[in-house]
Structure 1
Amino acid sequence: MFPGATASQEEAAYAVVGAPLDASTSFHPGTRFGPERIRRFARPFDDYDRASGLRFSDLAVHDRGDVRAWDDIPEYLRWLAGTLRDVVGDGATPVVLGGEHTVSAAGVNAVAPEVFVCLDAHLDLREEYDGNGYSHATVTRRILDRVGAGVGRDGSRDDASSVEEVVIIGARTGSPAEWDRAGRPDVTVVAPEDVPEFDLDARVNGRSAYLSVDIDAADPGFAPGTGTPEPFGLAPRTMRDVVRTVAPSAEGFDVVEVNDRDDGQAASLAAKLCRAFVYAHADSREQSD
């Protein structure tokens, strides 16, 4: 159980769902261990958040456990999206613990946001990677193409995404074709060095959002336990500030790409960002009531 997630399913305002998918990782596999590690490395954190004045255990967080993964990625994404739709139908905000980044397609499918905000070292805008149209390297492209979780390569589809724009925070690498796709009006890419000055609140502009944190957005010196580490990344404090900014507009959240190949640095950062999301989201709801 995620520490402090003491609410029952019936009373939950936030539902933690583990999605241990580890089927397409390219270099350092191990994301299947991500949900468990994030929960474990959240244990030392205090219950109280001074910035919001809230206690995590008072915020009606429920842990639904993991949705067991298998190697049929499109089918798994369909199943996961259904689970997350149930969360939304119960009146709770989904907080997904990955798992590889591909699981974000299911989260977007479930909440149908207008804008997808993603902290990521990579553009993830490939049409396919190693012949696979559904992988961690194609997830943002699938979301941009208004493809629902589990769409066939033949064009048959489930529910289509309603995403109007993607904002990729911290990206610093991609193929030439990806950078070409990123140059179109429905994509905004913010380089790591530009994040502190970027007006993200104005970019979201009151639209409903889905917020995804690929832990490799962090510089690998802070979070080495990830599948495709990329130097010259974001500092944890910058990532926290982005999460706090987007949280009031977000209808769903995930943190992904944590594996077991470090001493807990990536999992600890991921857990702290999960809590930062819940605190900021709950605080915004209290302020608006």
Structure 2
Amino acid sequence: MRFAGADDGYDEADYVVAGYPLDATASFRKGTRFAPSRVREASRSLETYVREADRDVRNIPFYDYGDIDAWNDARETVEFGQGVVAELSDDAKTPIIVGGEHTVSVAGFRGTDASSVVIFDAHLDLKEEFEGSAYSHACVARRAVEDGRDVYIVGAREASRDEWGYAEESRNVHLRSFDRLMPAEFDAPYVSVDLDVLDPGYAPGVGTPVPRGVSTDVLFDAVRSLAPRAVGFDTVEACPAYGAGEAEFVTASLVRDFVAFASDGD
């Protein structure tokens, strides 16, 4: 099943959506590998027209790549996925990844020429390693910092003492609240949405839910504002077994809206 509206061929597409069912390092809930197929299914219930953008994604060159291969070795999977994303970027496509665990974002931002990484997340994800892996879902932002990128973490409210300390000391880590997010300060960002940035009332079916999150309206406004500048986008950590489909519908809507607001088409 293709993502709704992603009916164009690869060669003419400006935007390419790819599932990435990596589910190797989850530390609380397993099952994010089932999200890409469920998100595609959810997308079929949505209108392809986005009124606020006055655009229909059926009229935007948009292609569904299928799924990027994933296996139990997170590092090897990321290195493989990075190559896939780099190929998309080299072909002048904007890659859109549907996870899978948050680790897939490392392949996303390393495969693009992103000047910065904007991460919407309840957690800082700044651990050097977690449970023996430097490619854990809890280390995503740390890998981006070590690459030399400026990392903007928006909506974080959970982390270890060491992570908060690292964030305060690092010149490349910038903590933001949603009301302090200024799209104009970003030139070519890679944008990542960990769905646990939302309050669990909006999306209970995520890998690691955290209370006191934002609403869907707040998140959608932020993603829409960044979409025209973004060189890549992902939305991760939907865990279908732990909800009634809320996270999958939010994910599908985010992908559709990203395409609509990023595009110059009608």
User: After superposition, what is the alpha-carbon deviation per residue over 1:121-178, rounded to whole angstroms, capped at 9, x for unaligned?
Assistant: 00000011112111000111011101xxxxxxxxxxxxxxx52x11111100100110
The residue number in structure 1 matching 2:247 is 266
CA–CA separation in structure 2 for the residues paired with 1:200 and 1:121: 19
Alignment partner of 1:198 is 2:180: yes
Alignment partner of 1:226 is 2:206: yes
Distance of aligned partners of 1:28 and 1:280 in 2 relative to their CA distance in 1, 3 Å threshold: same
CA–CA separation in structure 1 for the residues paired with 2:85 and 2:164: 31
Alignment partner of 1:237 is 2:217: yes
Q: Are the equivalent residues in 1 in contact too, given 2:85–2:95 (CA < 8 A)?
A: yes
The residue number in structure 2 matching 1:211 is 191
Q: Are the equivalent residues in 1 in contact too, given 2:15–2:62 (CA < 8 A)?
A: yes
User: After superposition, what is the alpha-carbon deviation per residue over 1:70-90, rounded to whole angstroms, capped at 9, x for unaligned?
Assistant: 011111111111111111122
CA–CA separation in structure 1 for the residues paired with 2:185 and 2:153: 12
User: After superposition, what is the alpha-carbon deviation per residue over 1:230-273, rounded to whole angstroms, capped at 9, x for unaligned?
Assistant: 00001001100110111111100000001112110001011111
Q: CA deviation at 1:112?
A: 2.4
1:250 to 219, 230, 233: 230
Q: What TM-score comes out, normalization by structure 2 length? A: 0.96
The residue number in structure 2 matching 1:172 is 157
Q: CA deviation at 1:68?
A: 2.1
Alignment partner of 1:185 is 2:171: yes
The residue number in structure 2 matching 1:36 is 37
Letter in 2 for 1:172: R
Q: What TM-score comes out, normalization by structure 1 length? A: 0.88
Letter in 1 for 2:94: T
Q: CA deviation at 1:202?
A: 3.8
Q: CA deviation at 1:213?
A: 0.5
1:41-120 residue pairs with structure 2 within 5 A?
41-120=42-121
Provide the secondary structure at the position in 2 that maps to 1:101.
coil
Unaligned runs of 5+ in 2: none
Q: Are the equivalent residues in 1 in contact too, given 2:48–2:256 (CA < 8 A)?
A: no
Alignment identity in percent?
A: 41
User: After superposition, what is the alpha-carbon deviation per residue over 1:48-82, rounded to whole angstroms, capped at 9, x for unaligned?
Assistant: 11112111111111001001210111111111111
Q: Are the equivalent residues in 1 in contact too, given 2:206–2:239 (CA < 8 A)?
A: yes
What is the root-mean-square deviation of aligned Cα atoms in Å? 1.3
CA–CA separation in structure 2 for the residues paired with 1:105 and 1:47: 29
The residue number in structure 2 matching 1:139 is 140
The residue number in structure 2 matching 1:159 is none
Provide the secondary structure at the position in 2 that maps to 1:4.
coil
CA–CA separation in structure 1 for the residues paired with 2:172 and 2:73: 30
Provide the secondary structure at the position in 1 that maps to 2:137.
coil
Letter in 2 for 1:273: L
Q: CA deviation at 1:42?
A: 1.2
Letter in 2 for 1:222: Y
Q: Are the equivalent residues in 1 in contact too, given 2:43–2:253 (CA < 8 A)?
A: yes
CA–CA separation in structure 1 for the residues paired with 2:49 and 2:232: 23
Q: CA deviation at 1:209?
A: 0.5
**Paired positions, count:** 263
Provide the secondary structure at the position in 2 that maps to 1:82.
helix
CA–CA separation in structure 2 for the residues paired with 1:64 and 1:267: 18
CA–CA separation in structure 2 for the residues paired with 1:81 and 1:34: 20
User: After superposition, what is the alpha-carbon deviation per residue over 1:164-210, rounded to whole angstroms, capped at 9, x for unaligned?
Assistant: x11111100100110011113311112xxx42x31422432xx2100
Unaligned runs of 5+ in 1: 147-161
